[in-house]
Structure 1
């Protein structure tokens, strides 16, 4: 691999500060390690259902946990992208947290209140995670996910721009980043007016299969070719000046148990690091519109053998640095 440090591109990682750490000490260690490796942002996932237990009534216990996670990130000089998702039952009349709320304005009200609460501590807000993925978002009218998501995002965006933090505390606001690049989804979102209510176009360009390079086109179109298509769409929609963020990308070093139904392929630690470097260098050189890459995620979320979701971390469960974290430091710090 080349040795020149990255100059333009920014990077960070998903930080599950609400649930993936047993102590403040663990959180501080993980965040400081990321910062020392050149990370400048963390992406913190917030569950609407966990916070707003009934309309206008918030869980003080849950908010205190988010206060701690966000404040610790700030103290380590990391900017925070807060992603809001998961509908409470009072808002959708269901125990299914993926189901859209009956009133899109209920989500907008929650977003505004959270952004007012965290003014000056959060730099960007993402309005849902992977709304094109049924495991994260389903429409009240089947097949209308883009329309219903667009209505929620537009309401929240307008409330934030009119009544949210202003001037030095104003936020970058993102419509929900898509699972994969999904140009078809973004075509629908542009038809519903997304150019007017997102500041950034966000995608999660995981490879397929899960151990491949995102530049690998041996099985068809590569994720980088799909980014070309997305940027072309943005240009046709008069949105070429907007940045693209990779709000998640990563490779897992998990080892599925022999009896696990999850047989998606893993990579070893060196390959995980190599895949990250390849992605970063391609984006740095060839995709100036891509401003940010968030690695998923900062720390392994499970033990070896517990499936693909367990092994994406830059740190393992014992908070030991994996090869990808060392590679991040080489790329973004240069030593």
Structure 2
């Protein structure tokens, strides 16, 4: 669901195929952070000159704690909502108030435009109702193209006709608008494995088709799909392509690289740093969008095993994972008052003993990891 890019083409192919198979079986499933070093020479991803916008005063949450913390739900990747409900129970009690739910367009409309797939609608009905009953605000991320929507048939290919996507998200907004707090358009469109071509102009056309489609049925914010890293260069190109009036909130996924580095690692111009957030803000201010918030719709560290010593797949200990969660929240809240919700990736560790499956707040059996206590402490203002 996020993207730390793997240099090995073979590894990308294996993970992409695994992700596609998972999507076909259970909906909007995708690999967790792919975990490898990005190519600094690739357009839109790499290092840029550090730009510091006009300083803003530090802010803090109310003494009662941080009400803008949440988690990425993976427990709904099934044909039943039971596990997702149990997970939402645990994390809501720990203080989470937001949940990000990825929804597979290809699973909603596998055969063509028209009515949504009944079993998947029932599943999402149960998940969204469960979130509402627990006081969780939902961010829906709609992505993954059905095979019929693009010539190549890949779920990661942009649709040939953006109106097909717009029609789908309009139908979703009409059905679930009362239970959804925000609509995120795709996932990491600047990452070519998740959005083939990673072209800012192509994404902007999709975004600008989706915006009025959502607004016909729901006034909730439309979110510029979470950028992999704090990719200010790619964002600027999207603005140049006309994105300014097509979103209400900008989302980023500011994973830190190397992947065991702490949250406050200096940016030094690198987009793969949480501390590069001011550069993204500077682009927004250049385009007179300073009134819009930045939301962090994915952020996390893995406590799974290292992947062959790759510095972009380095894990941390469970205690470090917890410490980094608390440190990241404190850093963002003290330095970046324009940032709204912070969504931890993810709810539950995956089923394998690998780096990619180690990002959860809970063990697979739903036992708490130290990171869950760190979330609870941050939510309570400790």
TM-score normalised by L of structure 2: 0.78
1:104 paired to 2:151? no
Asked whether the 8 Å contact 2:224–2:247 carries over to 1, the reply is: yes
Structure 2: gaps of 5 or more residues: 1-61
Structure-2 separation of matches of 1:171 and 1:282: 28
Which residue matches 1:247?
A: 297
1:85 paired to 2:143? yes
Which residue matches 1:229?
A: 279
- SS of 1:254's equivalent? coil
- SS of 1:57's equivalent? coil
Q: Which moved more, 1:248-257 or 1:105-114?
A: 248-257
RMSD: 2.3
Q: Structure 1's 105 and 323: CA in aligned 2 closer, same or farther, altered over 3 A?
A: same
Structure-1 separation of matches of 2:129 and 2:355: 30
Which residue matches 1:134?
A: 192
Structure 1: gaps of 5 or more residues: none
1:285 paired to 2:342? no
Structure-2 separation of matches of 1:24 and 1:9: 25
Q: How does 1:77-226 map to 2 (within 5 A)?
A: 77-139=135-197, 145-161=199-215, 163-165=216-218, 170-217=219-266, 221=270, 223-226=273-276
Q: How far has the Cα of 1:26 moved from its partner? A: 2.9
Which residue matches 2:379?
A: 332
Q: How far has the Cα of 1:261 moved from its partner? A: 8.8
Structure-2 separation of matches of 1:218 and 1:243: 21
Q: How far has the Cα of 1:7 moved from its partner? A: 4.2
Q: Which moved more, 1:211-220 or 1:123-132?
A: 211-220
Structure-2 separation of matches of 1:8 and 1:328: 10
How many pairs are equivalent?
Answer: 319
CA shift digits 1:247-305 (9 cap, x unpaired): 100001112577x999811111110011111110011111100111000001112232x
More strand by share: 1
Structure-2 separation of matches of 1:253 and 1:5: 30
TM-score normalised by L of structure 1: 0.89
Asked whether the 8 Å contact 1:302–1:311 carries over to 2, the reply is: no
